[in-house]
Amino acid sequence: MEIRVLKYFLAVAREQSFSKAAESLFLSQPTLSRQLKDLEDELGKTLFIRGGKKITLTEEGMILRKRAEEIVELVDKAEQEVKLTDEDITGTIYIGAGETHAISLIARTANKLSEQYPNIRYNFYSGDGVDVSERLDKGLIDFGVLFEPMDISRYDSIPIPIHDTWGILMLKGSPLAKKEVIEPRDLWDIPLIVSRQVEDSILSALLGKTDGLLNIKAQYNLVYNASVMVSEGMGYALCFDRLINVSGDSKLCFRPLSPTTEAVCHFVWKKYPVFTKAAQRFLEQFQQDMREYDS
C-alpha cells in the first residue's frame, strides 16, 4: 500500500468524484480509477459505492479513510522535519487542545517566539481530551493540553496556572440569569446542553446527578455551537467562563456554579520525545514563561 495511492484514495473520498479528484491530482481519470481498483484488489475489499451522482465510501472505505488521513499527515510531518536545515529554526509546531482560556498563555509564548524565529508556524488542533491524547500518542502533534481528571502520568507535563471556571451560559432573559451564582439543584430539571467530553463522574461532581437523572437536551463539541443553541432557546449550556463574549449587545450571560469549581489543565508532551528544533525551542520558551508567570 503506497502513500501515493492513499493520497489518491483520499482525494476521491474528499471530492466524491473520480473525475474531480483526477483533475485535482493532474491525472487522467482512467489512471486514477485503475490505481484505486488495484488498491481494492490488494485489500480484498470494495472501498467505493459507485453509481449515482456522487461516489460514497463503503464501511471499509470509511475505516481506511480515517487511518489514511493519519498516515498521510504523519508522513508529511516527518518529511517536513527531515528537510529542515541545520542553520535555521523553522517548521511547524503542532499543538492540540480543547477550548480553554489557557490557550492565551500558549499564544503568548508563540507570539514571543515569532519575534525571534519568524519562520516558525503553528498548527492548532481542537478536540476533546481523548482526541488530543490519541493524536499525541500517534505523533501527530507535538504538544497537548489535557484537563484533570485525565491520566497524564504517561506524559511529561507542566501545570498551567490559568484555571477555567465551570458555569452556565444562558439567555439574559432567563429566570436563572437573575442569580449571581447557580447551585446544582437549579439545574436538575431544566434542559441542559453539555460538552460530549463531560463524563458522568464530572456531572456528578458538578451537579450532584449523572446523565440519566438530568434533562440533557443536546451535546456539543465546540462551545460556539453550544452558544448558538442557547441563543435559539434550546437550553442552558454547561461550559467554562471567558470562552464566549457575553458583554455589550450579546443576548447571553454567564453565571458561575456554586460552590466555585475550577478545571485544572496541563501542557503535556510524550516522554523521551524526538522534537524538531522549533518544537524544542518552543518548549524551552514556554517553560521559562510559566516560571516567570508563577513568580
Quote the cell numbers at residue 258: 456554586
**pLDDT tens track for 213-247:** 999 999 998 899 999 999 999 999 999 999 999 99
**pLDDT tens track for 158-193:** 999 999 999 999 999 999 999 999 999 999 999 999
For the CA atoms of 210, 211, 214, 219, what is the dihedral angle to 10 degrees? 140
Across 121-135, 190-204, 246-260, which has the greatest mean pLDDT?
A: 246-260
pLDDT at 200: 87
Say if residue 80's pLDDT is above 80.
no
Rounded alpha-carbon distances, angstroms, from residue 3 to 9, 60, 62, 79, 181: 10, 18, 17, 12, 55
Say if residue 43's pLDDT is above 80.
yes
The span from the CA of 55 to the CA of 65, in Å, is 14
pLDDT at 85: 55
Contact 240, 255 (CB under 8 A): no
This prediction's pTM: 0.71
pLDDT at 84: 60
For residues 15-44, average pLDDT:
89
DSSP label of 233: T
Q: Could you give the percent of the chain with pLDDT greater than 70?
A: 98
Quote the cell numbers at residue 255: 453565571
pLDDT at 111: 95
Q: What rounded mean pLDDT belongs to the chain?
A: 91
Q: What sections of the chain are H helices per DSSP?
A: 3-15, 18-25, 29-43, 59-83, 103-116, 129-137, 200-207, 223-231, 277-294
pLDDT at 242: 93
Higher local confidence (pLDDT), 235 or 99: 235
pLDDT at 72: 86
pLDDT at 53: 77
Say if residue 83's pLDDT is above 70.
no
**pLDDT tens track for 63-75:** 999 888 888 888 8
Q: Quick one: how far is CA 283 from the chain centroid?
A: 20
Range with the lowest mean pLDDT among 53-67, 111-125, 277-291?
53-67
Rounded alpha-carbon distances, angstroms, from residue 129 to 101, 143, 272: 15, 12, 21
The span from the CA of 209 to the CA of 199, in Å, is 11
Contact 286, 109 (CB under 8 A): yes
